[in-house]
Structure formats: C-alpha cells, structure tokens
A and B are shown apart, each in its own frame.
Chain A
Amino acid sequence: MQFGIFTVGDVTPDPTTGRTPTERERIKAMVAIALKAEEVGLDVFATGEHHNPPFVPSSPTTMLGYIAARTEKLILSTSTTLITTNDPVKIAEDYAMLQHLADGRVDLMMGRGNTGPVYPWFGQDIRQGINLAIENYALLHRLWREDVVDWEGKFRTPLQGFTSTPRPLDDVPPFVWHGSIRSPEIAEQAAFYGDGFFHNNIFWPADHTKQMVELYRARYAHYGHGTPEQAIVGLGGQVFMRKNSQDAVREFRPYFDNAPVYGHGPSLEDFTEQTPLTVGSPQQVIEKTLSFREYAGDYQRQLFLMDHAGLPLKTVLEQLDMLGEEVVPVLRKEFAKGRPADVPEAPTHASLKAAREVTVA
C-alpha cells in the first residue's frame, strides 16, 4: 500500500499571526514538504493544479520535475490534473517528459476542476465538464499508446499523423487515477479503462464514499479487469497531530476555524465526527485511517492533506516527521493484516513495465 501527501497549494494567511507567505515562499515550502515526504519514508507526493488565486501551482510538471531531480524514490503525482481545460496533447507531452526525467516515478490523477471561470479562461464550458473529461482522456489514452494518431472530436482541433513526443518511458504510459467526489460517470470511466479511482473523501461522510467506491469496484469487474476487490482505489485524509490530543485540538482550531472551504462553518468536533479529518494523537490518526478500510475495502493509496489553511512550514514538517515515524509504519503493518494475497498493490512504472514485458513476450 502507498502512503503519501497531497497539497492544494493555497496561499493562506496564518490566522494566528495574520502573516501571508509570498508566492515564492509558498512554492519553496511545497518543495520542502515534498523532500520531507521522501525523507520520512512516504511513497507519494501529489500537487494540485489551479489557475486562480489564492493558489500557486499552475504548472505542475515544472514543480514535479524540480522535485524529481532532488529525490530518489518518491512517486510524483497530481491532485488533480485538469483533464477538462488542459489540452490532452500537452498533458501527453508534459507528463511523458516528466516520466523520462523522473525515471518513471510519475503517475497522474485526472480531475475536472470545479472553479467555474477557469473553463472560459481556457476556452471551455463548465457545462461540458463530464464530456470534456471523457473525450480528452480518450485522446490522451491513445496518444500514449499509439505512435501515430489520427483523431477527430468535438472539443479540439483534429489531428492527422500526430506523434506525441517523447514517447512514454519504456513504452509504458504513466498510471492514471481518476478523481471524483460525486460523479458516477467518472467512476465508470476509471472502471472502463481499468485505471485507478481516487475518492477525495476529506469533506465527505463515509457512506457517500462507500457508494462511489462500490460503484467503481463493481464496474471495474464488469469490464473484466479483475474482481471488485482487485480494483485500484485511493482515498484522501486530513490530519493534525500532537502527542497529546488536547494540544492538537488547541493548536489546530484557529486553522480549522479560518480554513478555506470549511472555515467559519461547522465546528471542529462535528467535522471530525462526520468526515475523515482527525485532530489528535498519532494513535487516533492510526485508528481513524484504519477504519477507512471498513467502507472502502482493501485499497492501494492513502494521501493525506497536511499543509493547507496557513499552517507554517515548520509545523507541517513536524507533522510529516510524526506521520512518517509514528503513523505510517503502523498503518503499513496493520493494513497488511488480513489483506488477501490477490489484492494488488498500486501499479508503478516497474510493475507496469514488467506486466508489459510478459504481454509482449
């Protein structure tokens, strides 16, 4: 099972000091956080992609390429790559390039983006969000698998005799996850291709996540990729830890109360009861995270949101130390218990390459 972190890349004032980091500070902090993730033994770092303030990561492969050069083992991913408003041709090129530079330590999570104006800014229409996701990915999927592509669709200029370069490393396209919170069409899309399905459950009650994951698993089996239990599932999580849980609550509360998205809304107590958010001791984080398996089944990837809402870099790095040293080793051991042998790990470049060699031979 893979463990990692995903970042939104928000530039948010620290509510306890009123200080807002500069964009440069935030970008450098994201890099420092990624390097820390590798140092403490996490498997994955994923960055969001946004095209509006207060977010900085508009250019994910620039950032991931830089991180790739400074890490050895970390898998570099996205949360998410906007399959709706990016040109699929450019996604094919950018991430194949990143794959070569990172020696295959690359996968992607496709998402639609829910910021209305971003669509027209990139010449698209949000009402076509699902259709854009379906058509653009269908093209991307071919660009990585066919050397010469002739293509015509509804949303993009036709292609005649186009070759996307560089070709994917070892002719193995990056593994793709499809992220969606509430669209069954996307779970269906992930299932159709045998790709991964990531449910970012951090703002959602368990019963909703369960329904979406079950739908994906059933359809994954329907399309003949394996049993429902073998489908490739990823989940989100959000934690803040201190040795003493009361200290965690006291320290995190101002960040929670002023956070983008849910700030000034529910109480910390209600939110921790109803969603995956855990604010407490490492042991509480372990227990809550292990409980995800009860409704999502044995799954492959767990990403934590650790660095939003204006938390200072120093605090985030302390959190990552605790996550890597006290939480994830226990989770690895506990999640392995009772996990059926035929439930696969998340595909990596190495495993996909090996599978391809078997097929070709």
Chain B
Amino acid sequence: MKLVVVSAGLSVPSSTRLLADRLAAATAGRASAEVEVEVVELRDLAVEIAHHFTNGFPGRKLAAALDAVTAADGLIVVTPVFSASYSGLFKSFFDVLEKDALAGKPVLIAATGGSARHSLVLEHALRPLFAYLRAVVVPTAVYAASEDWGAEGLPERIERAAGELAGLMAGLSVARPAVKDEFTVVPFAEQLAALSRQ
C-alpha cells in the first residue's frame, strides 16, 4: 500500500516534518500489509505551486507530487498553524490538486504550533477542507505544540490516529473507486442522448 505524507513545514529541520515522520512510521507499523511511504515537502514545491496559479499547468516536480497524492492509498497531511489556520502554502497545494483526487481517500490531519491554544484549527479549518474534498478523515487529529515534545500524551495520540488510518487504508483501498482517467470519454451518442433526457 502506498502512504503519502504531505508536510508544509518551512524550517529545516522542521517540527512539522518531525510530526509527519512519527505519524508515517506509526501508520506503517500498524498496517496489515507492507506500506511504501513517500514524503512530499511543500517547501520544495513552493515556487512551482505559485507558478501553477499563474501558468495553469504544474511544473514537473509538482506534477509528480500531485500524481503521488492522487494515487495514494492513504494520506497524512501536516501543516504549521499560521494566523489561526493552515498555512497558505498548505492550502495552495490542495487548491491545485484536481477536485476529485481525494474522494474516498483516508486522510490523517495533523498540525503543529507554538502553543496548544490553536489546536482546534484541526477541527475548524483542516477537517472541513478535507470534508469538502470528500476525503475520509480519521477521527483522531493530532496537534503538537512545542510543549508536547517534552510532555506525555503525544505518542499515544500518534498511535491512536495511526491505527485509525491504517485500518481505513486496509478497508478503503479495496472499496475506493478507481481514479478516473482524465482522458476517458463518454461516447458521443450517449452525450447527445443525455441532453434530450434532461
């Protein structure tokens, strides 16, 4: 199974990436089948994402990242909290993704921040975004404030969320509809007939 991790951390090293890696490792550990993990660092794609908006088509690295996300059996998405929400870069990546790419796909949402005061960003911003994209968002969202890296509780939340994602990946990878090929066609006679039925 293929697990893709989208990390919107900006610093190197980044606590967002650190959380992303912990979540990925825990998910792989709990999966029933072998999991292949691919990490998409949005920092490396920032310029291509901006150009996608101005050009209308993705550059090569961005196209590969979008394809990886579209083809994944499960997704872990992690953003730093900026101005009471996900970062603009994080949102921009999902803005250039084809609108049906996440339909039916299990997604674990996670965020990092300087303090715990923004933890509900996961429920107020990320969960509605992925609900709109018709993803299946796991019940446990993981927030890591700076203080959590030196406190109890984070590993348990990571394990719980990872277990939920691994379970959904096992169940949904069979049930999820195949990604629609961009270049499949409805035969013309059907197109025309559908119009007269409307």
Contact = CB atoms under 8 A, between A and B. Distances in A.
Interface string A182-201: 10110111011000000000
B56 interface: yes
B194 to A, nearest CB: 8
B55 A135 contact: no
B51 A188 contact: no
A153 interface: yes
A55 interface: no
Interface of B: 50-51, 53-57, 59, 182-189, 191-192, 195-196, 198
A131 B183 CA distance: 18
A224 interface: no
Q: Interface size bucket, A side?
A: 20 to 34
Contacts of B59: 270, 274
Interface in A175-225: 182, 184-185, 187-189, 191-192, 203-205, 208, 211-212, 215, 219, 223
Contact of A266 (B51, B183, B188, B191): B51
A269 B54 CA distance: 15
A138 B195 CA distance: 11
Contact of A154 (B55, B191, B198): B198
A184 B191 contact: no
6 contacts: A184-B183, A188-B187, A192-B189, A215-B185, A262-B54, A270-B51
A265 B184 contact: no
Contact of B56 (A134, A138, A203, A215): A203
A246 to B, nearest CB: 25
A337 interface: no
B108 to A, nearest CB: 32
A127 interface: no
Interface string A254-274: 000000001011100011001
Contacts of A184: 182-185
Given A154-B195, A185-B191, A192-B188, A212 B55 contact: no
A347 to B, nearest CB: 20
A131 B188 CA distance: 11
A219 B185 contact: yes
Nearest to A212: B183
A134 B191 contact: yes
A56 to B, nearest CB: 24
Q: 3 shortest A-B CB distances, which residue pairs?
A: A265-B54, A192-B188, A188-B185
Contacts of B196: 153-154
A265 B188 contact: no
A208 B55 contact: no
